[in-house]
Structure 1
Amino acid sequence: MDRATLDAHDPIWGSEDKPLRVDLHRLTPEESALYDDLRDNCIRAGLRLEQEHIGFYWLISSPSTP
């Protein structure tokens, strides 16, 4: 997930009681930076966005979609 997608969906942000705190090695540099911000609670403590709630229109119109 990219930061633009996360920011665009702040009305549906949720909360994660037990967030994952491991290193993820297969992320792009941009994904890794966002993951670090989420893991380190830099945006909001326990922030979670369920990807299932992201609308299909957003996915097909997003500039980061390959």
Structure 2
Amino acid sequence: METEKQFIDHYDSLITDYVKQSITEQDPAAMFANELGVMVGEGAIWFAAEPGDKYGITVIYTMPGS
């Protein structure tokens, strides 16, 4: 996805119940980070730094093992 509109148009298929649960149950103190970014919920969603001191979503796995 390259634009906010694309993300919004596909929101329901991207932000599944699995992703929502992974985010809400994540203990911020236990988040994993490496050179690729920050992982939430055993890899359900990854964030990484972008120019301008922003963070963006880089990967979304919509179901376990996907």
TM-score (normalizing by structure 2)? 0.29
Greater per-residue helix proportion = 1
Bigger RCO of structures 1 and 2 (CA < 8 A, at least 6 apart): 1
Q: Answer 1 or 2: which has greater strand percent.
A: 2
So what's the TM-score if we normalise by structure 1? Answer: 0.29
